[in-house]
Amino acid sequence: MARVQHLSPEAYERLRAEFEDLTTRGRIEIARKIESARELGDLSENGDYHAAKEEQGKMEGRIRHLESMIENATIVEAAGDGSVVTTGSVVTIRYDGEDETESYLIGSIEERRDGLPVISPGSPLGAALLGGAVGDRVTYEAPSGGLEVEITEIES
């Protein structure tokens, strides 16, 4: 069973538009490239043909990925006042014993924006942060052991 994808309305529409583009214009364009490469002759040593077929495979993989995400999407509206961490929040944290802070977007990798790193709400850190408020200290299990972070800022 596929995992539920929490997406903002904007990300959902962007992914739907990309899916539509790839399944229409994209497939027609790649078919033309393959046909043009076939006309060049011997397929066993035809670099253009092999490159076009590889491009087609990557595009079909992206189409399947988008289709799965769209089918399993739950549209999440931005949570109001930024008082707690929710999907779609930008959260700034400080690791225990560190002076520097780091900001992350909580959500799907497809939500990425403004060069912010993304933390999945299903990851150990993402799950620990969800529902937290500024000043809360949360612990999560990392591969190297338990880590603690403090939530210093939340933006919705």
The predicted model scores a pTM of: 0.72
Rounded Cα distance between 31 and 51, Å, is 12
Residue 73: its H or E element: strand 73-75
Q: Is the pLDDT of residue 80 over 60?
A: no
Q: Is the pLDDT of residue 11 over 70?
A: yes
Beta-carbon contacts of residue 69 (< 8 Å; ≥ 6 apart): 5, 7, 15, 108, 110
Confidence tier at 78 by pLDDT (50, 70, 90): low
User: Which has more pLDDT, 110 or 60?
Assistant: 60
Q: Please say whether the beta carbons of 154 and 89 come within 8 A.
A: yes
| Partners of residue 103 on adjacent β-strands | 92
Q: Please say whether the beta carbons of 28 and 21 come within 8 A.
A: no
Nearest one of 154, 110, 155 to 135, comparing CA atoms: 154
